[in-house]
Amino acid sequence: MSQRSRHHLHRSTNGADASDGSNEKSGNTPCSMIFVTGASRSGTSMLARLLGEHKEILALQETHYFGDLCDPDEAKALKSDEQLEQLSAILLARQNRGLWDSKPNASEQQQARQLVSSLPSNARSAGEVFSATLNHLATASGKSIGLEQTPRNIFYAEQLLALYPKARIVHIVRDPRAVLASQRNRWRMRQLGAGHIPSFEMLRTWVNYHPVTMSKLWSEANQQALRLLHRKHFLLVRFEDLVDAPQKEIQRICDFLDITFDPMMLDVPRWGSSNITHSTSQRGISHEVRDLWQGCLPVGDRILCEWLTRPTMKRFGYHPLPAGRADRLQSWAKILTYPLHMVGVISLNPKRAWTLLKALSIAGATRSSPPKTKSYLPPSG
């Protein structure tokens, strides 16, 4: 890659390139909300926790609002007060009790009615009620910026940036083999200390894992990210850079968000991993999770992952490992189990499978437009 190309890429990853006519005008715009995105198990929860330690930021749980409760393409359409109250109440319930217990109680329904009644008559849409509810939650917590961390929002990034011009998107990418290892062991999280996760969710997670599915999702999510590098309200972070140099990377993210870096942001509990015991007493970013995949990802899964993600993983500086004939035979055995895997996924959670399929269809619609940069290089300095 030429020096000129490197310079352009470093500028674009910092959100400073305004050469594209579709870009927002240059100049700082106060950040109103943050979306943390990435392929699932890429470190979105860890990054959200880090940012949520800032005095101005409230990190919400994964709400799955867009794609589940609201079609991003219809977010501006006016809806009845009853519909909006239901959306807001569910959003409040998901924040208060998590995704698995999202039936609103009387208090949440009352808050939702008050929020909807405060909206102007020409702004009573699903997109506006999300913004109003997010602002309400942030203000109630003494914060000024709400952060939403549902990973698959990367597939709706273009719509979200158009819907919320003052929003920022921070996308985190991780070695796809590490993502697969984390996904593969995710069903064990209850054993590692995450007792709040229902048993059925662990069963669903176990069935959902397959190296083909996970590899395709990783590729699609991060190809979408490459297409957005030229947008000034979009920032890309590598998981490996974050765990290797946390203060430097969080400082870079804070600069992008126009907020002041606070060293206390790095003092977070080690929670949410699929591979190490959850702990609230151990704090800080764990470097040990960086390369754990090398000891827990089966060879067949690794080879399939490298084969399916090779073009994209190389753009982020990840490289395949050598493989022998016997290793490749293991990957073929995995392929033969794929039809059974798909039956299990659809049977256990058809709604979520359909939502994900729709998200992937959005990615497929933009695939004809190649990413504006062929590879990602972390900013130097």
pLDDT at 275 over 80: no
Q: What is the pLDDT of residue 10?
A: 38
Domain boundaries in the chain? 3-56+144-366
- Tens digit of pLDDT for each residue in 55-82? 999 999 999 999 999 999 999 999 999 9
User: Where is pLDDT greater, at 368 or 181?
Assistant: 181
Q: What CATH number should be reported for the domain whose range is 3-56+144-366?
A: 3.40.50
Of 215-219, 257-261, 352-356, 365-369, the least confident: 365-369
Contacts of 201 (CB under 8 A, 6+ apart): 100
The pLDDT mean for the chain works out to 83
Of 80-84, 200-204, 230-234, the least confident: 200-204
CB neighbour class for 180 (10 Å; exposed up to 12, middle 13-18, buried from 19): buried
pLDDT at 240 over 90: yes
Q: What is the pLDDT of residue 16?
A: 36
| pLDDT mean over 363-367 | 59
- Tens digit of pLDDT for each residue in 24-38? 433 467 799 999 999
CA dist., res. 230 & res. 23, Å (int): 8
Structure tokens, 257: 């968000």
CA dist., res. 326 & res. 223, Å (int): 31
- Tens digit of pLDDT for each residue in 323-347? 877 777 778 888 888 888 788 778 8
User: Where is pLDDT greater, at 194 or 137?
Assistant: 137
User: Where is pLDDT greater, at 158 or 290?
Assistant: 158
pLDDT at 84 over 90: yes
Sign of the CA dihedral 305, 306, 309, 312?
A: positive
| pLDDT mean over 117-140 | 96
> E strands, the chain, where?
33-37, 57-59, 145-148, 167-173, 234-238, 269-270, 279-283
| pLDDT mean over 106-131 | 96
Q: What is the pLDDT of residue 286?
A: 76
| pLDDT mean over 112-125 | 96
Q: What is the pLDDT of residue 208?
A: 82
pLDDT at 366 over 70: no
CA dist., res. 167 & res. 133, Å (int): 15
Of 31-40, 166-175, 254-263, 295-304, the least confident: 295-304
Q: What is the pLDDT of residue 196?
A: 60
Q: How does residue 198 score in pLDDT terms, banded at 50, 70 and 90? A: low
Gap between the terminal Cα atoms of the chain: 19
| pLDDT mean over 265-288 | 66
User: Where is pLDDT greater, at 277 or 130?
Assistant: 130
Of 149-158, 287-296, 355-364, the least confident: 355-364
Residue 334 contacts residue 304 (beta carbons within 8 Å): yes
Q: What is the pLDDT of residue 209?
A: 87
CA dist., res. 33 & res. 30, Å (int): 9
